[in-house]
Amino acid sequence: MRVKTWRLIMNCKDLINMYKIQFRVLVLAIVSFVFLASCTKKIEAEKPNIIYIMLDEVGYYEPSYMGNTKLQTPNIDKMAHEGMVFTNAYSGAAVCGPTRVSLMTGKHLGHTSMRENSGGEPIRADEKTVASLLQEAGYINGGFGKWGCGNRGTSGVPEEHGFDIFFGYYDQVHAHSFYPEYLIKNSQEVPLKGNTGDYYQGETHAQDVIFNEAVKFIKANADKPFFCYLPWTPPHGLWGISEEHPSYQLFSENDWPSPNSWKTDDAIRFAALLHKTDGQIGEILDLLKSLEIDDRTLIFFSGDNGGQDYFNSDKNPRGIFGPNVNPDNQKEFRGQKGTVYEGGLKIPMLVRWPNVILPGSRSDLLWYFPDFLATVADIIKVRPPEDCDGMSILPELSGSGKQVQHDYLVWGQKNKYAVRQGDWKLHATLKDDFWSEFELYDLKADPGESSNLVQEQAMVADQLKVILKDAYTPPIKGEIYDHKLYLKDHQVNPPKPKKQL
């Protein structure tokens, strides 16, 4: 009996000890889970939100922080004072579509799949983008504005390239109206009340709807890392804005003739649209503060390509607002949008990142759009795609580590190409697989590209010719799956006015 009792007692002890062990294991598992969850949250918190604001056709000297005295951009100026201004930044291309492809894919124009500004030509289905890279790293991605990397019915739609939502215009020609009949959300049409597609009047201004959707996105994702891409159309023409809008009223008394344009007050409208959009940028900055996420949000601001000499005349041959004319000394960049001269490629660029970037700093680092993808990859600690042509500028932004420099940079526009190495820039024409019409400029001594040194510096020219030829590969284009749908947004707007209204 005593033996049985003793065995029973021992079995009970064993049972209790077993449960103790299981309890300890359970507690350890719970503690481990909580710890790992807190670590994950900490890691998530260390991933900055990323906002890229790109205004269409804003030239190098047009923001007021760059010295422009006619246009007013107080909120952009504020970002410049709070962040880092880059004086030597370039777009990826000289026109809308290719430059957006360069920014999104991290490739220069010798390698991009799309190089023509047709309106809706697509990138390939297999191409990585900044958004797809971020999506794989756990980011929520939203785009609001003008896509330009592939129309509906193609391999280039944004929702198949890393964007959880894209709202706005897919086709660039569709984006020529601020009063379109509809906008696009993940390839679905969203009607805009009271609009007929008229370029100058309607009930619903597209930029306001696009802005509101961006605000909703930021609010909805304030507790997780997000990428908010804002390739906004203003101040690209045609310049539809109500004459009653406060931004229009601000400039309405100016005597700014608008020759060679659609309306006699188009210069006023340009200024008003830029000012209106600047106000929306200010609202986004305020929103980040109110959501208490400002200190973990990295913001890029830039133009999309070089400025255009709008509203030019004998009095103002480079346009009323002088996008490529230094307001301090009147020195000019040659060319404008649509050329691979400096005027078609130089852009305003600033980056704001609280607690990382020293406020009010300036940098002359030479960089361009392909570097955005490489920089994002560096920030989130992932490897960029093997076909990325960019370099990370994170060391320059953070002031930590050694900043590498580009060996060379490449641009293209139709059959015109340019390559820069150091201060030397070579221009060339490609026709029937034959390179010709070479021009060589020393940008340090001649930023206006006025003295062609291709004969005097033949060895330098020959070196750059080899680089350019090696950097060029024929494009492998994306696919059009539904040709009718592909053309719809391109053709929906009415014809542009043929004479001044």
Same domain, yes or no, for 94 and 135?
A: yes
Same domain, yes or no, for 400 and 462?
A: no
> In this structure, what CATH number is given to the domain that contains residue 135?
3.40.720.10
Give me the residues paired with residue 367 across strands: 89
In the chain the first and final C-alpha atoms are separated, in Å, by: 113
The first and second tokens of residue 303, run together, are 């133009």
- CA–CA dist 67, 326 (Å, integer): 8
Q: Is residue 311 part of a domain?
A: yes
Of 57, 61, 45, 52, give the one whose Cα is nearest residue 79. 52
Q: Is residue 299 part of a domain?
A: yes
Q: Is residue 403 part of a domain?
A: yes
Q: Which amino acid is at 119?
A: G
Helix (H) or strand (E) holding 497: none
Give me the residues paired with residue 426 across strands: 419, 440
pLDDT at 11: 54
pTM listed for this prediction = 0.90
Same domain, yes or no, for 238 and 144?
A: yes
pLDDT at 390: 98
Same domain, yes or no, for 216 and 248?
A: yes
Residue 140: give the domain boundaries.
48-407+474-491
Q: Maximum distance among all alpha carbons in the chain?
A: 120
**DSSP reduced 3-state for 249:** helix
Q: Which amino acid is at 91?
A: S
Q: pLDDT, tens digit, for every residue of 244-266?
A: 999 999 999 999 999 889 999 99
Q: Is residue 34 part of a domain?
A: no
Same domain, yes or no, for 390 and 341?
A: yes
**DSSP reduced 3-state for 205:** coil
Residue 174 near residue 420, CB atoms below 8 Å: no
pLDDT at 260: 86
Same domain, yes or no, for 424 and 323?
A: no
> In this structure, what CATH number is given to the domain that contains residue 434?
3.30.1120.10
Same domain, yes or no, for 444 and 309?
A: no
DSSP secondary-structure letter at 70?
S
Same domain, yes or no, for 231 and 127?
A: yes
Q: Is residue 37 part of a domain?
A: no
pLDDT at 167: 99
Of 180, 182, 112, 110, give the one whose Cα is nearest residue 149. 112
Q: Would you give the distance in Å from CA 463 to the centre of its chain?
A: 32
Same domain, yes or no, for 297 and 150?
A: yes
Same domain, yes or no, for 137 and 124?
A: yes
Same domain, yes or no, for 421 and 452?
A: yes
Q: Strand 367-368 and strand 89-90: pairing?
A: parallel
- CA–CA dist 347, 368 (Å, integer): 9
Give me the residues paired with residue 412 across strands: 417
Q: Is residue 141 part of a domain?
A: yes
Tell me the chain's radius of gyration from C-alpha atoms: 27
Per-residue pLDDT of the chain (501 residues; tens, 9 = 90+): 444 444 544 554 554 455 444 545 444 344 334 333 433 343 334 799 999 999 999 999 999 999 999 999 999 999 999 999 999 999 999 999 999 999 999 999 999 999 999 878 999 999 999 999 999 999 999 999 999 999 999 999 999 999 999 999 999 999 999 999 999 999 999 999 999 999 999 999 999 999 999 999 999 999 999 999 999 999 999 999 999 999 999 999 999 999 889 999 999 999 999 999 999 999 999 999 999 999 999 999 999 999 999 999 999 999 999 999 999 999 999 999 999 999 999 999 999 999 999 999 999 999 999 999 999 999 999 999 999 999 999 999 999 999 999 999 999 999 999 999 999 999 999 999 999 999 999 999 999 999 999 999 999 999 999 999 999 999 999 999 999 999 999 999 999 887 676
Q: Is residue 310 part of a domain?
A: yes
Residue 60 near residue 346, CB atoms below 8 Å: yes
Same domain, yes or no, for 370 and 487?
A: yes
Q: Is residue 13 part of a domain?
A: no
DSSP secondary-structure letter at 408?
-
pLDDT at 38: 35
Q: pLDDT, tens digit, for every residue of 443-489?
A: 999 999 999 999 999 999 999 999 999 999 999 999 999 999 999 99
Question: How many domains does the structure of the chain reveal?
Answer: 2
Q: Which residues of 260-279 are buried (b: 16+ CB within 10 A; e: fewer)?
A: ebbbebbbbbbbbbbbbbbb
The first and second tokens of residue 212, run together, are 């509101």
